[in-house]
A and B are shown apart, each in its own frame.
Chain A
Amino acid sequence: MPALIDSLIIILLALGSLFSLLAALGILVMPDVYGRMQAASKAVTFGTTSIVLAAALHFQEADIVARCLLVCVFLFVTIPVASHLVARAAYRAREPLAPETSVDELAEHTKDAP
């Protein structure tokens, strides 16, 4: 049983670090602010959640586990809202879309399209 939990912790930590690395790479590679928000929001949510869950599994004490779960819940509720707001504000401020963008179906319905 301890071996099983240890391997689970290792897998979660590795996944979390991988997600965070991908987020950093994504921010470098993406051409416009919307792509960078994509990379920054998701990979960070899942990366941090995996690492926090690994900590919860490792300590297995009621107070630490409770706080870890709370951190996960808050991440899942707040990060999408924040990235939605940043992207929306960028669009409203006419932040240009990447040149390879294929369609923009929002442009017809708003007066401040980039």
Chain B
Amino acid sequence: MTVLLLNLTLMALWVASTGVFTYANSALGFLVGFVVLWWLQTLLGPTAYFRKLPLALWFSALFLWEVLKSNLRVAWDVVTPNRLREPGIVAVPLDAESDAEIAVLANLITLTPGSLCLDVSEDRRTLYVHAMFAREPDQVRREIKQRFERWVLVLLR
């Protein structure tokens, strides 16, 4: 986290010193900062930043793709008269433990069309999800665990 802040500071320095306030120059500044920090990483002590930042970018792209796909599925169901949906409430067992992990996972699930986070059990071991296509609850569980929870745990731990 501190390394990310350092990287953002370097980006601001780059943008300010070149005096060109554009997206492209900011991205270039961030990249230069990343390379400089990567070069100096022995000074920073142990950090997972250089491994996690590319993973986070890749996961963002994957997530947007998921969102687009399920958006189309829901849109198709809304627009056409045939009803493919079979809503249901599915219990998803959680591997995430801390508050932050559960909160991020729940937010991601709610942001994906076709699934809505309903409740967390008292012992925080189960997440109840209202899914639009829940013909096979096991498949819903598997998708949530593989697509979202795995990544959340990798990125936040």
Contact = CB atoms under 8 A, between A and B. Distances in A.
Main secondary structure of the interface of A (DSSP, over half): helix
A104 B112 CA distance: 20
- Interface size bracket, A side: 35 or more
Given A38-B132, A62-B21, A100 B78 contact: no
A80 interface: yes
B87 A109 contact: no
Given A42-B71, A43-B113, A84 B106 contact: yes
B115 to A, nearest CB: 8
A13 B117 CA distance: 29
28 contacts: A22-B75, A22-B78, A34-B87, A34-B116, A34-B130, A35-B87, A35-B132, A41-B116, A42-B71, A42-B111, A43-B113, A60-B22, A60-B23, A83-B116, A84-B116, A87-B116, A88-B119, A91-B118, A97-B87, A100-B86, A101-B89, A102-B86, A102-B135, A103-B90, A105-B90, A106-B91, A109-B128, A110-B119
